[in-house]
Amino acid sequence: MMAMFDVDGHFSWANGHFLQSFDYRDADLTGQSYRLLCPADMVGSQDCYQFWQSLRQGQFQKAEWRLVAHNGRTVWIEGSFSPILDDRGQVAQILMIGTDVTERCRRDGEAHGKLAAIDQSQAVVEFDLQGHVLAANDIFLSLMGHDRQAAIGGHHSRFCSCDYVRSPAYARLWSDLVAGRFQRQRADGSPVWLQATYTPILDVDGAPYKVVKFARDITDQVQLEAEAAERLDRAERFRLIAEQRQSDMEAMLRDMEQIVDSITVIASQTNMLALNASIEAARAGPAGRGFGIVAAEVKKLAEDTRSATQSVREMLRR
């Protein structure tokens, strides 16, 4: 897009691309001040005054401006402003040649907003390719218990346990840059668990030149998972103990049933012997009276034993 201004910033001409971008007709702009396209906070500002003052003095200017179209839409332009001199060497006009960069600025603003949201919600830290801290946000510093001065320039290993730093996995970390769960430790040595990703940042040639780590604190989650796992393990141990005790109880009941069966057999045999003894005592007449009394007592004892074993059997079957 192109436009021509006088030394006071009034439009003298604009091409079709310029008019289309700002939704104006040529007749609507001719003679109007550049301020017509400026947002309210720019009109009368010191920066705007200094910009046009430099142009009047013949100094070339290049800038990116946020302007307002006729329909109220924001338009960003990136342009160069070139003073044009008359025959006496005095600045007579200002030529602007520019590009509509609204879409690029919109994408940049959206990306900046996303980064700002991440910076406010997640721990973010930047490392060089050797693992030294280049920058860290407040969430990361608070989470790890370090102040900014102590953290910047320090090595990544200061955030890890000594065992992990000495492990082969840590030696592979900076070559692989794998993402996952990582246990780290605060400045006071207490553990902190992070869900993190390590992202290599590439330069214009596609070569990595630093690493950005995005992380969130999942220490409470990991502790809850550990507690839940411990409860499950404890419940499983109790279940196994209960099953063993049930098995032992069933074995004991089987043994008791066998004992009851044996006593029942003995009681039956004793009862039979008492019956035979009573018969023999009756045959013996008066001489066997004492023997008959003993036989009767033995028979009663056998019946009592059989009754008791029957009660025990019924109890075991419940």
pLDDT tens per residue, range 78-101: 999 999 999 899 999 999 999 999
Is residue 182 over pLDDT 70? Answer: no
Tell me what pLDDT residue 122 has.
79
Place of tokens 């947002």: 39
pLDDT tens per residue, range 97-125: 999 999 988 888 887 777 777 777 778 88
Residue 80 C-beta-side C-alpha neighbours within 13 Å: 6
3-state secondary structure of 39: coil
Tell me what pLDDT residue 85 has.
92
Is residue 175 over pLDDT 50? Answer: yes
CATH number for region 2-107? 3.30.450.20
Question: Which homologous superfamily is 223-317 in?
Answer: Methyl-accepting chemotaxis protein (1.10.287.950)
Tell me what pLDDT residue 54 has.
94
For the record, the structure tokens of 166 come out as 């000495």
Report domain extents, the chain.
2-107, 121-219, 223-317
Which strands make up the sheet holding 61-68, listed edge to edge?
A: 11-14, 2-6, 91-100, 74-85, 61-68
Is residue 150 over pLDDT 80? Answer: yes
Is residue 153 over pLDDT 80? Answer: yes
Instruction: Please answer whether residues 4 and 92 qualify as being in contact, where contact means their C-beta atoms are separated by less than 8 angstroms.
Output: no
Tell me what pLDDT residue 262 has.
67
Is residue 10 over pLDDT 70? Answer: yes
Looking at the chain, the whole-number percentage of residues with pLDDT higher than 70 is 70
Neighbours of 18 (CB within 10 A): 21
Q: Whole-model pTM?
A: 0.47
Is residue 49 over pLDDT 70? Answer: yes
Please give the Cα distance from 81 to 52 (Å, whole number): 10
Average pLDDT over residues 239-252: 80
Secondary structure string (H, E, C) spanning 243-305: HHHHHHHHHHHHHHHHHHHHHHHHHHHHHHHHHHHHHHHHHHHHHHHHHHHHHHHHHHHHHHH
CA angle 193, 226, 144 (to 5 degrees): 15
Highest-confidence segment of 162-176, 207-221, 239-253, 259-273: 239-253
> Amino acid letter at 111?
A
296 CB-near residues (< 8 Å, 6+ apart): 274, 278
The gap from C-alpha 121 to its chain's centroid, in whole angstroms, comes to 11
Beta-strand pair 133-136/61-68: unpaired
Q: DSSP class of residue 159?
A: G
CA angle 305, 306, 307 (to 5 degrees): 90
Please give the Cα distance from 89 to 260 (Å, whole number): 131
Per the DSSP assignment, residues forming a β-bridge with 98 are 79
3-state secondary structure of 308: helix
> b or e along 69-100 (b: 16 or more beta carbons within 10 Å of the residue's beta carbon)?
eeeeeebbbebebbbeeeeeeebeebebebeb
Question: How high does pLDDT run on average in the chain?
Answer: 78
CATH number for region 121-219? 3.30.450.20
Backbone angles phi, psi at 316, to 5 degrees: -70, -25
- Judge if 2-107 and 223-317 fold alike in CATH terms: no
Is residue 300 over pLDDT 80? Answer: no
Is residue 198 over pLDDT 80? Answer: no
